[in-house]
Chains A and B, each alone.
Chain A
Amino acid sequence: MSEYKSIHGVKVRDYTTDPDNLITGQVWYDKTNKVLQYQASGAGAWASGGNINTAKRQIGGAGSQTAGLAFGGETATAAEVNETEAYNGTAWTEVNNLNTARISMASSGHEGTSILCTTGEISSTSALTVNNESWNGTSWTEVANVNTARRHLAGDGASNTAAIIAGGDSSGVLDSTETWNGTAWTEVNNLNTAREQLAAAGIATAAIAFGGTTNSLVLNELWNGTSWTEVADLNAGRQQWAGAGLSTAAIGIGGNEGDSPVGSAKTEEWNGTAWAEVGDLATGRRLGGGLGTSSAGLAFAGQNASNTKLVTTEEFTNPVLATKTVDVD
């Protein structure tokens, strides 16, 4: 029988506790439990996160899995709220409110201290707002308005000084795109296919816009800072869903498949070339929030198959690292 050292060139070390700074594939002998163990790398999976304080749908969300922000949305008792909650990787805490309550807005920002909440709908009056607000980690400040007020759009950006919004609805489905430089919004080249209820991920100069309606599009477009180009389709048409990540590594979360209002549990991952289905959410949801990256994402709020607004949060980790025990006779 071959010895581990003859194959790998090193001996298996003994430890009384798990080694520090484990790397994938590392093997060690657990002296305490008298078992051989290794560090495995598994496929992406969702786990429960802390519940949001107030159930909502059509909510905004940006930031990271350990410093996230959820804002606005519709509750069981209010057509639109200005509530903002911050997530620290464990629990949601209520923080300072938006200046303008709204639903179905665009959300941008990859850090919890630099976020943008742009346009959206004041659903109690069915009015659209051009209002654009910037979050500095403590409070919201109104900054320059968008050119075209809209709802059911998508947007993203690295921070509150550089972002992109696309699509949506404003007396008709839109293909228009605007970019934000920290001072003003500028109209730029349109999407190839007008759509609303889509999702997006990326930064102002490199973004991806995917899915949307009508009839749950499978279409996927890539923004290079100048124009949109159609790239590989989604595995299933999806609308009313959330996106997170970058133009080269993104996830699309939940939504409706086709016109079914059940709320999908599916997650699709974009690797820069193609989409692949990865781990399912435990609770299917649509009209929910999403933020983070394709390796550390967050899904929260939304509504389920009975149209019940949700408080639940799920955390996506890809890959999932775990210590496994080797079965030896």
Chain B
Amino acid sequence: MAKTYQYCVAENWGKGFIDHDESQRITFVGYPGNVWQVPAYNKHGNLWIAKVAGTPKTKDQAQTIVTAIIDAAQDTWDNDNVDGESADEKIDRLGSKPTDVTLAE
């Protein structure tokens, strides 16, 4: 099956990382772990990965990076408790528990 997306790891350095022209041409999705999803088989996606010196990842490799960070965040959330605190109070203090993220092919 032809893939729809390609993935890379690149650190967002700030201004110029994604410019307006690139943002208009393709859709970027940033995930935890500096994982970025851009369209596959797309000239503008390829050019952007080259511009930011992104390290290409397969979907499974990217998923492993994201899952490891989400799992760690879920563990941190589970283990961060205050005596006498209700479930709602915990969410109020920490935010909701991170949910699993599934990357698309």
Contact = CB atoms under 8 A, between A and B. Distances in A.
Interface of A: 42-43, 45-51, 57, 90-91, 123, 256, 259-262, 265, 279-280, 282-284, 287, 303-308, 312-313, 315, 317, 320, 322
A47 B98 contact: no
A47 B23 contact: yes
- Which of B23, B70, B73 counts the most A-chain CB atoms under 10 A from its CB? B23
Nearest to A305: B101
B23 A46 contact: yes
Given A47-B19, A282-B30, A262 B99 contact: yes
Nearest to B100: A305
A304 B98 CA distance: 9
Nearest to A260: B99
A235 B72 CA distance: 33
A261 B32 contact: no
B95 A279 contact: no
Given A260-B99, A261-B96, A317-B20, A306 B32 contact: yes
Interface string B10-48: 001111111111111001111110001000000000000
A109 B99 CA distance: 35
Given A48-B12, A287-B95, A304 B32 contact: yes
26 contacts: A46-B18, A47-B23, A48-B17, A49-B14, A261-B96, A261-B97, A261-B98, A262-B99, A279-B23, A280-B29, A282-B28, A282-B29, A282-B30, A282-B36, A284-B29, A304-B31, A305-B98, A305-B101, A306-B73, A306-B98, A307-B76, A308-B32, A312-B12, A312-B30, A313-B14, A322-B20
A261 B12 contact: no
Contacts of A123: 93
B20 A91 contact: no
Contact of A48 (B18, B21, B27): B18
Interface string B50-86: 0000000000000000000110110011000000000
A322 B101 CA distance: 35
Contacts of B23: 45-47, 279, 282, 320
B22 to A, nearest CB: 8
B58 to A, nearest CB: 20
Contacts of B94: 307
A48 B99 contact: no
B30 to A, nearest CB: 4
Contact of A303 (B76, B93, B95): B95
Given A51-B12, A282-B18, A305 B24 contact: no
B43 to A, nearest CB: 15
Contact of A50 (B14, B29, B70, B76): B14
